[in-house]
Chains A and B, each alone.
Chain A
Amino acid sequence: MVTVLERDSDSDSDSELRRRAWDAAAGVVDPEIPVLTIADLGVLRDVVLDGDHVEVAITPTYSGCPAMNMIALEIEMALERAGFRQPKVRTVLSPAWTTDWMSEEGRRKLTAYGIAPPQAASSRRALFGEQAVTCPQCGSQKTELLSEFGSTSCKALWRCKTCREPFDYFKCH
């Protein structure tokens, strides 16, 4: 059921409305990593309220990430469900998304899900920089890269030399 949002000037200030819109949008999950919300990922950038209309700004993790269209659709539906009429989603490129935008909560959730979170401040510029990635299964640091690219555009494929499990690693950008 869709409840259309009634604006009551006594109780619903703009900031309250904006917070409700933000919360609705922030709950949308990444379709390819469903344990992470777009707020955890840092993909959700801004929520702007103009009267009763709401516009949400999101930023892509990778230029060609096919999940972006899906995320935009889910945001619109989440806002509709929260009572906002004709919500809009726009894509912003600047400032560019980096893995630093991911929240600590997001990193914890990723590890628990079996995906190694991006390394902070790794030397991605170094052409052959050595990275130490911790196995999300057993916590060992004896791991090796299997493939620079993995199951989605944001991941690489690694293997743990201790527990022998292969695992996804959220690429560092």
Chain B
Amino acid sequence: MPAANIQVSETPLVLYALRRADDALILGHRLSEWCGHAPMMEEDMALSNIALDLIGQARELYSYAAKAEGKDNDEDKLAYLRDVRQYRNLLLVEQPNGDFAQTLVRQFFYSAFTDLYWRAMMSSRDTTLAAIAAKSEKESAYHLRHASEWIIRLGDGTEESHARAQGAIDHLWAFTGEMFAVDDGERALVHAGIAVDPGTLRGRWLTTLSDVAGEATLTLPQNDWMQQGGRAGRHSEHLGHLLSELQSMQRTFPGQTW
């Protein structure tokens, strides 16, 4: 019998850790789909390595969410036994890989944010989150550097690579607003000094994007309509398909271990 979904008591702190864990896991899984398929060997290794970092971050965050919840859940159950509507990740990270440009633009948007976000979270009053931040900040800075170089290479490359990079930016732009949104539960954590208000990071995020886009001869969209929903469990069609692959072993053979 397939394993049933677990229930999670989503206190503000549990939900906060869960959302960031889901971001890292889903993006890590997306990147792992490139393993063996990337356009060149170096990028095959790069995307797999970034995936490893992200999945490592996800594990720490899931473990902390489970501890904060204080029930019977653990990192594996949180990752493998929640259904689409229980997932709290950004819509951005679940978007399909598309072509190489789309994957790198998605990574660029995300890493430009997490680079700032984790650095700010190092001063969180929550010592576990601050410790995870100190680790993730270094990794995010490296991921951002890798993605930025590719955005410039693609944007300032051939007519074809420029068109693909610009197309990816235009396509994914509407998914970036969610990174800066805060709900009531998170606002309370911000006031308690546990979380940072991501809205305060948007200016610097845009500066990073503008600098790199400028060098890449790419244009950032002017439209400010943003799609939201992932943080509340309303996802695009893509996430269900991703989870069916990610969770297939544990759903088919509950409790299976290596």
Contacts and interface: CB of A to CB of B under 8 A. Distances in A.
Contacts of A171: 142
B57 A149 contact: no
B149 A128 contact: yes
B131 A64 contact: no
Interface stretch (B11-19, B47-55, B79-87, B91-99): B47-55
Chain B: interface size category: 35 or more
Given A63-B60, A63-B135, A153 B149 contact: no
A150 B42 CA distance: 8
B103 interface: no
Interface string A117-148: 00000001101100000000000000000111
B177 interface: no
B46, B48, B130: which has the most chain A beta carbons within 10 Å?
B46
Interface residues of A, number: 27
Query: DSSP class of B's interface residues: helix, strand, loop or mixed?
Result: helix
B107 to A, nearest CB: 12
Contacts, number: 85
A62 B139 contact: yes
Contacts of A146: 42
Nearest to A62: B53
A124 B144 CA distance: 11
A170 B138 CA distance: 14
A96 interface: yes
A26 to B, nearest CB: 23
B201 interface: no
Given A63-B135, A96-B135, A149 B56 contact: no
A95 B56 contact: no
A18 B160 CA distance: 63
